Amino acid sequence: MYGNLDALVLALSQLTQPISLALLIGGIVVGLVIGILPGLGPPIAIALALPFTFYLEPVPSMILLLGIYSAAIYGGSISAIAVGIPGTGAAIATVQDGHKMFKSGRGGEALGFSLTGSIIGGLVSALCLALVSPMLAELAIKFGPREYLAISVFGLLVVVRVAGQSLPKGLLAGALGIFLTTWGLDELNGTERYTFGSYHMYEGLPLVPFLVGLFAMSEVLIGAERALQKIDFSKESLSVKLPGLKTLGKMKDVILRSSLIGTIIGIIPGEGAAVGAFFAYSEAKRRSKHPEKFGTGIPEGIVAPETANNATVGGALVPTLTLGVPGSPAAAVLLGALLIQGLSPGPKLFTERPDLMYSIFIGLFVINILMVFIGLVAIRFAARLIMVPTSVIVPTVMLLCFVGIYSVSNSFFNVGVLLAAGILGYVIRKLGYSIAPLSIGFVLGPILENSLRQSLTIADGSVTEFFNTPIGLVIYAMLILTILWRPLMEWFKRAKTN
Amino acid sequence: MLSQRLANIVFVIVVLVACVWFGVIAEGFETSGLLASSGLPSKFFPQLTLGLTGACAIIVGLLYALRGSAGGDSGEMVFEEGAQARRSLLMLVVAIAAYFIWKNFGFIPMAVILGPLSLLAMGVRSIPIYLTVLALTAAVYLVFTRLLGVTLS
């Protein structure tokens, strides 16, 4: 389908252009910096870089964002190990063993394990992305409205299930996100819906300002709360000691398993890097001969979550690129970048822009390889970054959000949307809601509405016709299995012990 | 300092009122001409999502009213201390003020004021931090205007 040599050559020529190489390296550096700074995770890192992609061609812009995405996830582990404060949610599982190793004088080793695990996880998931996504795209090309409806329902409900501890709260946030996409002109018949007499609202709430507001602006407001907190850290510089092949050989099972867990969890819509890391950590502990040593500062406790969280990057790109359904909040922002470029993610993208697909696959490999060298250098400067006060980060990020969003369209309306989304994100986060279902709902809303209305038209109003599709049935069955899996396993466990 | 229970119940009431209001507005969505009879009416999907949002809000409200929590936040506070609340709410005011200053007086006054006002809102007193933030503001301005060629009016 997309396997023509011309596209591959074109991708390579675009990737080797000086601008692409500079952005690739720049993306990794920016991602590492933002990942190290506590509180600013991958979605915020990508959101802040989004406006810059407006001035770039699709390939360099995707390379920049992928570099930021991968490096930000890895960067979070550095502050997790050094100060016990995870730079990102994905690094929370790393704190337990990483910081213990650091405190016992084995910080260099701990940083080496996290870097190596991250690189291997990233490479494995990039390979899976390159192998799985073309096959899935080939299948997805046959999808009609009913299948897209099933995929969207699946994506949304899975996000709701994993986001936060309360299902009704997750559903409320998801439904709110979908509702907000109904603002603007009705795509099917041109009816004005919630435009409030403003021509700005004809196209609805703009995606990029909404997502940047939701992630970055809300984080700014939350960051202001802990602006005066002091970090107990006095090191001038950090060093890293990479593990030898013999040591890695002993952990090959943990590495391979965590890579696959991360990739698979990344593919499931909504299950982000943090879930992957925790799952891999608990799996490594469960299968270990010495599970009691986990949490006391052992290499496996770092390698498992770090391998898995970086493996979610490639996994999350599979549904994003092939179906247009984001695999994680960060992938939702990445999807926004494709829309900025005038590209609609989905199976057709593989036939329309095979060079872009090749560039993404190859780019992700190169990013992970370069991250070894850049990561080794970055760790030396990480001590200084960790010491950057939150009070400096908060106003700078706010200004970046303002200017970045304004620069995309020279529109104060978009800045207003950014601000409103930031306030909404802040309020719901403070009230214990997760912003993941809201953001995914906002991305999936138009797909859901269009596929639902088209499906009903095709089925002549009959709801049972929704299920008269083999692919749709498989997706619904997977959804039911996903929802019932945990209760069923617990039930089996209880039955076994009784 | 403001319990999760009380804050969530207030939020649920606001959501329910908003759902009713938006639902009533949706009743007025009318399609004219040939497209009027094609497919589902435009109000269907907004009202469907509003119904779902409202139903979830009622469940969340009931959970807080009857059990005191939804998702293990029993007895938790929205803000750990008063100073935290003051800092974030003042920051919110600064963000809104910055937007209106930019809109009415231009970018440079906003950019110059935003950093120091934010630091004041957060209670920062260190002069080097003020200088660092102003330097970063200048850097952001230069990157966008000189490097990317954006006109910041």
What is the pLDDT of chain B when averaged over all its residues? 89
Contact B119 A52 (CB under 8 A): no
Identify the pLDDT of residue B115.
94
Identify the pLDDT of residue B111.
93
In chain B, the N- to C-terminal Cα span, in Å, equals 41
- Residue identified by tokens 């995770």 is A41
Identify the pLDDT of residue A153.
82
Residues B115 and B59 in one domain: no
| Overall size of chain B counted in residues | 153
Q: Which of A48, A61, A191 to mutate to test the interface with B (most CBs of B within 10 A)?
A: A191
Residues B102 and B54 in one domain: no
Residue B73 lies in a domain: no
Q: What average pLDDT does this structure show over B108-133?
A: 94
Identify the pLDDT of residue A371.
92
Identify the pLDDT of residue A466.
75
Residues 6 or more apart whose CB falls under 8 angstroms from that of B1 comprise B77, B78, B79, B80, B81, B82, B84, B85
Q: CA A380, A385, A387: angle at the middle one, nearest 5?
A: 115
pLDDT digits (tens, 9 = 90+) for A145-181: 888 888 888 877 776 766 666 888 989 999 999 999 9
Nearest to A314 by CA among A256, A369, A365: A365
Question: Domain range for residue B104?
Answer: 82-147
Last residue of a domain, one of B67, B99, B114: B67
Distance of alpha carbon A332 from alpha carbon A203, whole angstroms: 19
Contacts of B70 in chain A (CB under 8 A): 166, 168-169, 432
A and B: number of Cβ contacts within 8 A: 193
Q: What average pLDDT does this structure show over B18-35?
A: 83
Specify the DSSP element, H or E, that contains B8. helix B4-27
Partner residue opposite A395 with nearest CB, options B29, B30, B115: B115
Identify the pLDDT of residue A234.
63
* Token output for A228: 């005066």
Contacts of B152 in chain A (CB under 8 A): 403, 406-407
Residues B55 and B94 in one domain: no
A483 touches chain B (CB under 8 A): no
In chain A, the N- to C-terminal Cα span, in Å, equals 54
pLDDT digits (tens, 9 = 90+) for A267-313: 876 667 777 888 888 888 888 888 888 888 899 999 999 999 899 88
Residue B33 lies in a domain: yes
Identify the pLDDT of residue A465.
75
Residue B119 lies in a domain: yes
The CA distance from A416 to the nearest CA of chain B, in Å, is 8
Last residue of a domain, one of B67, B93, B114: B67
Identify the pLDDT of residue A420.
96
Number of domains in chain B: 2
Residues B55 and B103 in one domain: no
Give me the percent of chain B exceeding a pLDDT of 90.
Answer: 64
Residue B136 lies in a domain: yes
- Dihedral sign (CA B39, B48, A438, A92): negative
Residue A228 three-state SS: coil
What is the ipTM for the molecules in this complex? 0.94
Identify the pLDDT of residue B46.
94
pLDDT of B76 above 70: yes
CA trace torsion B2, B6, B9, B15 (10° rounding): -20
Q: What average pLDDT does this structure show over B33-53?
A: 79
Nearest to A101 by CA among A300, A299, A378: A299
* Token output for A29: 């550096």
* Token output for A36: 């190290």
Identify the pLDDT of residue A270.
60
Contact A189 B38 (CB under 8 A): yes
Partner residue opposite A394 with nearest CB, options B110, B122, B141: B122
Identify the pLDDT of residue B103.
93
Question: Taking the domains of chain A in order of start, what are their residue ranges?
Answer: 5-467, 468-498
Contact A191 B31 (CB under 8 A): yes
B8 touches chain A (CB under 8 A): yes
Identify the pLDDT of residue B133.
95
**Low-confidence residues of chain A, pLDDT below 70?**
1-3, 39, 87-89, 159, 161-165, 231-237, 269-271, 461
Residue B152 lies in a domain: no
Distance of alpha carbon B133 from alpha carbon B113, whole angstroms: 11
> What band does B128 get if pLDDT is binned at 50, 70 and 90?
very high
Residue B72 lies in a domain: no
Identify the pLDDT of residue A494.
82
Identify the pLDDT of residue B82.
85
